[in-house]
Structure 1
Amino acid sequence: MAEPVALVALAVEAAVGWPTAVYARIGHPVGAFAAIIAAGEAAWNRPFWSFAVRRAAGVLVMLGLIAIVGGGAFALQRAAALTGAWGWLVCALLAAPGLAQRSLFDHVRAVQIALRNDDLDTARRAVAMIVGRDTHALDTAGVARAAIESLAESFCDAVAAPLFWLLVAGLPGLWVYKAVNTADSLVGHREPRWRAFGWAAARTDDSLNLIPARLGGVLLCVVGARGWRVLWRDAGKHASPNAGWTEAAMAGALGLSLAGPIAYDTVVALKPWIGDGRREADARDIGRALALYVRACLALWLIAGGVAWLL
């Protein structure tokens, strides 16, 4: 049996998360990645440069980010190995901040609590922390749907994918994934400012999520005991080649319709509906989604433990 690095990392993160006191003092590693990306974007994403030059600049920034983060994580992993028999535990502690089971649960739970208390304004503010769409005019159903969609998509980005890359490539795999995912969230957009410069971030993130997103969608259907038909039919309706898998699985498992028309910066995007349900989502559905999410996370624990046992 190999050392259960991934399993212990999941358990530590679920137990303590990333404490507020720690965040206040030193921030989070993702903040350092964001600073590198922002500096590169400010220096090299010049609007008067050609599309090709800005795209090449984005490629160079991504290569530099991957080299810095991957090299640093590899050095930490090697240093942990030199500490002796308990080096694997050090690796697990270094990996735990790259997983966000607890943080994601807490953010979505805050939306549910506000809606359950009929406090729509607080619910809008809570959901605004986890989605990029306009939230100030969302009704109760819109807030609930946004929270569930974010939970489904982030199940891959925040838990399944980083765990997958931890199992495949150790600390460098996990932290490189987190760096790339951060870059995609910051600059991997289609608006004119980022389309060229963020191309490398978006394409790299798509590649790294290709397998985890599909595994995540299947896992949600397994623990939900339904949703397969919606998964196969609707996964491709999402603009992202990956996000639709977990979103369609969640919609099918809950019997809801997700996505649909969404406003970004007051501009409405006419996204297709995902799922068959026609009733409006509410706080109870967020609770059902969270229960499904917890079961899926526990299934990942079993997978992590099984991989350690087999190796």
Structure 2
Amino acid sequence: MTGRADQLLAVLMLEAVLGYPAWLFALIGHPVSWIGAVIAELDARWNAGAARRRRAMGLLLLLAISALAGGAGWLITAAAGDGWGVALLLLVATTGLAQRSLHDHVRAVARPLAAGDLPAARTAVAAIVGRDTAGLDDQGVTVAGIESLAESFCDGVVAPAFWFLIAGLPGLLICKAINTADSMIGHRDARHGDFGWAAARADDLVMLLPARLSGLLVALAGGGGLSVMWADAARHASPNGGWPEAAMAGALGRQLGGPVSYDGEPAFRARLGTGPAPGPADLLRALAIYRRACLLLWLIAGGLAWLR
């Protein structure tokens, strides 16, 4: 594990500097979008029939995309060897992280919100959340931005970094494949309740430890929030999403959660934290905590590399 720690530190630093260039995305898309295209195609072809068949085919989809992602990671790792090919491996690994992208997307919400431009803030937050945004006020946009930042810190930064440390590039890519499948088909609705069960359960397992580590990093970076995390994490609908979100609520001294809607249908979200509702300035504070939490992750990787 310590042999990968120095690589992980390099990947974290490279991704923070380079991100994923917009011109490259326009030219070839992104590895996650490639995985998503495969999932969408298999969803259209295989998601039919009785419930038992849907569950079986959903499991087969999960195994197929995991094998595809893991196999690609293994081939790249084998081809990289110990020479200059490692640089290519590190660059590929950066595509599985979202430190810079997440920061930039949330900052794109915070800036117009702070300037009083609510329509622009709604447009920006719609790019990072699945809830309805057209009717959100300042507080609603702020809550959506903070919750997305906290949860995506786990899904897009800590979890892929954790699995890279455990299993190298194959582990990182399998993590991304499972998380993408969960986001696309792991829903409790009529179409995906059976077909997406395997993706949802696999994502719960893959995110189990990273979610708790994410919450700890957020609490440490924010100078508080551990007590709120321990008290409120289990109230979240997700077995993992509540850890970083509750930690962020506690670190900010604000209350997250509350009613939202998806495609016009009301949905309940448990209240996390006991403080007042957050305002636009709190989204900027959350971004500062996020940056420090990312730095703590760098320090962990650096410490493990030093122990080597």
Q: Hey, what does 1:281 align to over in structure 2?
A: 278
Amino acid at match of 1:77: T
Do the aligned residues in 2 keep the contact of 1:210 with 1:242 (CA within 8 Å)? yes
Q: Hey, what does 2:160 align to over in structure 1?
A: 162
Of 72, 81, 86, which aligns to 2:84? 86
Q: Hey, what does 2:60 align to over in structure 1?
A: 60
Do the aligned residues in 1 keep the contact of 2:258 with 2:268 (CA within 8 Å)? yes
Of 15, 36, 54, which aligns to 1:13? 15
Give 1:272 deviation, angstroms: 1.7
Q: Hey, what does 1:135 align to over in structure 2?
A: 133
Partners of 2:111 and 2:129 lie apart in 1 by 17
SS at match of 1:259: coil
Give 1:86 deviation, angstroms: 3.3
Do the aligned residues in 2 keep the contact of 1:5 with 1:91 (CA within 8 Å)? no
Of 300, 304, 309, which aligns to 2:306? 309
Amino acid at match of 2:53: V
Do the aligned residues in 1 keep the contact of 2:131 with 2:261 (CA within 8 Å)? yes
| Count of equivalent residues | 306
Do the aligned residues in 1 keep the contact of 2:217 with 2:293 (CA within 8 Å)? yes
SS at match of 2:95: helix
Partners of 1:156 and 1:254 lie apart in 2 by 18
Q: Hey, what does 2:256 align to over in structure 1?
A: 258
Do the aligned residues in 1 keep the contact of 2:237 with 2:270 (CA within 8 Å)? no
SS at match of 1:263: strand
Give 1:91 deviation, angstroms: 2.0
Give 1:90 deviation, angstroms: 2.7
Deviations 1:189-238 (A, max 9, x none): 00111000000110000000000000111111112121111111100011
Of 168, 193, 200, which aligns to 2:198? 200
Instruction: Output the TM-score relative to the length of structure 1.
Output: 0.96
Does residue 290 of structure 1 match 2:292? no
Do the aligned residues in 1 keep the contact of 2:218 with 2:247 (CA within 8 Å)? yes
Instruction: Output the TM-score relative to the length of structure 2.
Output: 0.97
Q: Hey, what does 2:105 align to over in structure 1?
A: 107
Q: Hey, what does 1:73 align to over in structure 2?
A: 73
Of 175, 178, 188, which aligns to 2:176? 178
Return 260-269 or 98-107, whichever deviates more: 260-269
SS at match of 1:196: coil
Do the aligned residues in 2 keep the contact of 1:2 with 1:309 (CA within 8 Å)? no
Partners of 1:245 and 1:102 lie apart in 2 by 22
SS at match of 2:203: helix
Query: Percent of counterpart pairs with the same letter?
Result: 54
SS at match of 2:132: coil
Do the aligned residues in 2 keep the contact of 1:254 with 1:288 (CA within 8 Å)? yes
Q: Hey, what does 2:230 align to over in structure 1?
A: 232
Amino acid at match of 2:289: L
SS at match of 1:273: coil
Give 1:309 deviation, angstroms: 2.0
Q: Hey, what does 1:121 align to over in structure 2?
A: 119
Do the aligned residues in 2 keep the contact of 1:258 with 1:273 (CA within 8 Å)? yes
Give 1:270 deviation, angstroms: 2.2
Give 1:88 deviation, angstroms: 3.1
Deviations 1:248-298 (A, max 9, x none): 0000000011111111111111222111112x3222101100000000000
Give 1:32 deviation, angstroms: 0.8
Partners of 1:139 and 1:23 lie apart in 2 by 32
Give 1:154 deviation, angstroms: 0.3
Partners of 1:144 and 1:297 lie apart in 2 by 21
Of 33, 36, 43, which aligns to 1:34? 36
Deviations 1:172-195 (A, max 9, x none): 000110011001000000011100
Partners of 2:307 and 2:180 lie apart in 1 by 32
